[in-house]
A and B are shown apart, each in its own frame.
Chain A
Amino acid sequence: MDQAAPSPHPSAELKRVSPSNAGSRLSASCKLRSPPSRNGEPLLAVPVSRAALTPEALGRRALLTRLRERIRAIERHDAPLAPLPPAGPASDADGWTLGAPEIDALLGATALDPAGVHEVKPAAKGAGGRAAALIFALRLAVRRMRQMPAARGRRLLWCWPSSLARELGRLYGPGLASLGLDPEALLIVETAKAADTLWALEEGLNSGSLALVLGVLDEVALTPARRLSLAAEAHLVPCLLLTGAHAPATAATATRWLLAPARSGAHLFEAPAPGAPRLAVTLERCRGRRAAPPEASLTLEWSDETHRFRVAPLLAHRADGAPHAGCRAGG
């Protein structure tokens, strides 16, 4: 019996569904996403014990709701919580989503904030892990360029210090094209120092004419991150900060993603070949929302044809099976 499905009988001995484990539940069971609005308020408003219905409990509930509102306001998440947009291509027009409803549900109604700083960071040290984080960011950029009408025809700014470019390799146009990103749209800046990268990022955000600004740095202190976040907010240009594995967490970012490479899916025709690329993704922080606990991560699969993520099917040999049939807990 699925725990999350609300019982029609109020006295049923169901545990209180608290949002703190909503994330892990999401990764544990995909049925949560239908009906689609099972997130935020509706989910919070399912206290099923009798005590919750007493007047004083109702008062406490109202107090809790008010406090949550205040916390939300403090965290500068001004948009009221709207019900989840229906999953599927219809949602593409109004937000910067990943395309996988399971993880988009974690982000809430606004999806990825197009006026905020998002941090993408590898879970472990090493060039392979770092490249995985960078490629996840590039795929987010692909989503952004294809989803947002405002982003079309605009350019992307990619800034990094040349030391990192030497370590990980330079951006390669044919490779970007196979990801789905137009290499001509990229404007690449290689700086001598990390401080110059931050300056270039801020200039890029302040110009207000770019679709997206991506910066690769080993770590970003709170003050520059906050500056970038203010600039992004003022000019409605999103910024992706791709930090190193040991970067200290900053509070200035709207979301923080933790990335690790994962074994690819099965190849359709050639068994020993790598199939559709997969990544283990953890949403470590999401402003205004409780994010999934760090141990809960989703394995996402990227499709080069549809340019969207989806939760990797559990069964190894069902590469093109029903996408929502099941999903995996733990990366």
Chain B
Amino acid sequence: MGRHTPGAVPEDEPFALVATASHGIRVTAVNRRAAAEGVRVAAALADARAALPALLSRPAEPHRDRTALIRLARWCGRYGPARNSDGTDGLWIDVTGVAHLYGGEDKLIADLCRRLASLALTARAGLADTLGAAHALARFGFLEPRDEGAGGCPPGQVVERHPYSRSDRAWIIAPAGETRAALARLPVEALRLAPETVVLLKRLGLFRIGQLYGLPRAALERRFRPQAASRSRARESADLAAAVLGRLDEALGVRFAPRRPLREPPILSVRRRWAEPLISSQALEAATAALAAELCRSLADAALGARRIRLSLYRADGTVAEAQAGTSSPCRIPAHLLRLLKEKLALIDAGFGIDVAVLEALSVERLGPRQAALGAHLEAADGNETTALIDRLANRLGPARVYDLSPRESHTPERAEIRLPALWGARAHTPQARRPSSRRSPRRPPFLLERPEPIAVVAEVPEGPPQHFTWRRLPHRVVRAEGPERIAPEWWRALGQSRPRDYYRLEDEGGAGYWVFREGLYQNAAEDGPPRWFLHGLFG
């Protein structure tokens, strides 16, 4: 129920968020006070108002909630690189290999809950071997005895507190290997099943996950069958049983549950945490330098070089600042990586301070070991200086703005060449492309307009070169002309849309050279329309 405007949710008055559903306006969320007064989620607003006239309400904004949740998920990267939102009201984080940085799972989850609380969020957390189990613990491990019936337990049966939970904590941790025991008492809803499956399970008397453990697998499918008379129904029941068992296996870790993190986890990652948030830019720079040195050591150990790196700075107020940098060749020189990041650091606002910094290598390539003693010296040599220059230019100006020219097999002038971002480093890898020798190939202008510009032309004979032309509102008198050079359209590309071109090299009375063409032929003017003239390049 985190709102974007602070103070929008009153603390001590019943408050509900509402949304228009198929049968009128429904309550989608309530605050604590309203819950205490008996307002339930999914009740009609009219009913709730009838029972509690003082109920305040506002329309729900699911898309803004979603954005806020994603932003929170990004910030959760401080607890593990793989994380994403879970449903519309939860997050999952893969903390494998991270807990020791916080001094244990207990301290990690305590830190998480404390920080979420400081962001004015009420959070429940579950930590288990599998995503399914953690989901179940976080959502169904905290049912109060008061919630009798609501958690899906058989009526009349009192829900007892989860054995791993403690009243002073907002989290439950299932120790490694004890997932079965931890889940046994939870209701079957916790398995992330479709509502009708849950209803069916309850009708069969299966209320808790523990009840499913001992059941023979074939028997479960048979139990669903009495419901199903026809053959299609039989297949449906088999599907239902498979869904239940699949979810159970995923929760217990028997079957791998695919999950999609917010972002691809990095290949290598180093992180630093500080008790006091960093604010000054010098401190940030020093921290980045230390991280870069550490990352380069890891890269050297693995005989790798980084092509793309990302620095994530987690601010104390629950936001993340990021800086990405790319290199045109695999690199593990801390000074160079630092230099690329430093320019972007200047643009980063530290806000209330940065307490976790993570430097990740997103893309790496093999880079053989180098002699350490000579390395520093060698890397200052020419070839590397140029790639370092490309990196600096491309990282500041944008990769598409720094490019190489690469030839392509085509007779259409504008298609005979492509611009490849220099940062891709394709020039170093591909063998020297064969260009036709300049002597034999027809003359081309050194400057080619991005798209041909229409010109108004006066020609002596229709098929001949122009005598006058007007380009950019300036008249030019042609004194010399060479041509035509006919370039036919490539028949495998959109035939009928493009017409043959007759290129002429012109010189005006001032001596300036132009490359113009006439698109279309006079003999085909009846079908294709009259030919048109364009200016395509400058000879100077």
Contact = CB atoms under 8 A, between A and B. Distances in A.
B480 A273 contact: yes
B302 to A, nearest CB: 29
Contacts of B447: 131, 134-135, 168-172, 175
A227 to B, nearest CB: 17
Contact of B482 (A174, A187, A273): A273
Contacts of A162: 401
B539 A131 contact: yes
Given A128-B510, A131-B447, A175-B445, A186 B382 contact: no
Contacts of B416: 173-174
B513 A127 contact: no
A134 B540 contact: yes
Contact of A174 (B389, B441, B481): B441
B386 A210 contact: yes
Contact of A188 (B404, B450, B512, B514): B404
Interface string A160-188: 00100110111111111111100110111
B389 A204 contact: yes
Given A171-B405, A175-B448, A187-B422, A207 B538 contact: no
B479 interface: yes
Contacts of B493: none
Contacts, number: 196
Q: State the majority secondary structure of interface residues on B.
A: mixed
B204 interface: no
Interface in A255-275: 260-264, 267, 270, 272-274
Contacts of A154: 382, 386
Contacts of B176: none
A166 B405 CA distance: 17
Interface stretch (A31-39, A64-72, A189-197): A189-197
A295 interface: no
B448 A273 contact: no
B397 A200 contact: yes
A149 B189 CA distance: 78
A260 B472 CA distance: 20
Contacts of A264: 480, 507, 511, 513
B285 interface: no
Interface in B382-402: 382-383, 385-386, 388-390, 392-393, 396-397, 401-402
A203 B392 contact: yes
A204 B388 CA distance: 10
B401 A170 contact: no
Nearest to B383: A209
A126 interface: yes
A173 B435 contact: yes
Interface residues of B, number: 58
Contacts of A157: 389
B401 A191 contact: yes
Nearest to A262: B511
B407 interface: yes
A136 B511 CA distance: 14
A155 interface: yes
Contacts of B540: 128, 131-136, 261, 277
A172 B393 contact: no
A138 interface: yes
B438 A178 contact: yes
Nearest to B386: A209
A128 to B, nearest CB: 3
A274 B505 contact: yes
A278 interface: yes
B482 A270 contact: yes
B446 interface: yes
A127 B446 contact: no
A173 B405 contact: yes
A141 to B, nearest CB: 11
Contact of B448 (A133, A136, A169): A169
A179 B432 contact: no
A137 to B, nearest CB: 10
Given A172-B444, A203-B392, A183 B438 contact: no
A208 interface: yes
A74 to B, nearest CB: 34
B468 to A, nearest CB: 15
Contacts of B386: 154-155, 187, 207, 209-210
Nearest to A204: B389
A209 B435 contact: no
Interface string B445-469: 1111110000000000000000000
Interface in B122-149: none
A172 B417 CA distance: 8
B538 A168 contact: yes
Contacts of A129: 510, 512
Contact of B397 (A128, A183, A191, A261): A191
Contacts of A168: 447, 538
Interface of B: 382-383, 385-386, 388-390, 392-393, 396-397, 401-407, 413, 416-417, 419, 422, 427, 432-433, 435-436, 438, 441, 443-450, 472, 474, 479-482, 505-514, 537-540
13 contacts: A128-B508, A129-B510, A169-B538, A170-B448, A170-B450, A173-B416, A174-B441, A178-B446, A186-B404, A186-B405, A199-B396, A262-B511, A277-B513
Given A173-B435, A177-B435, A274-B507, 5 more contacts: A128-B510, A134-B540, A169-B537, A187-B403, A188-B402
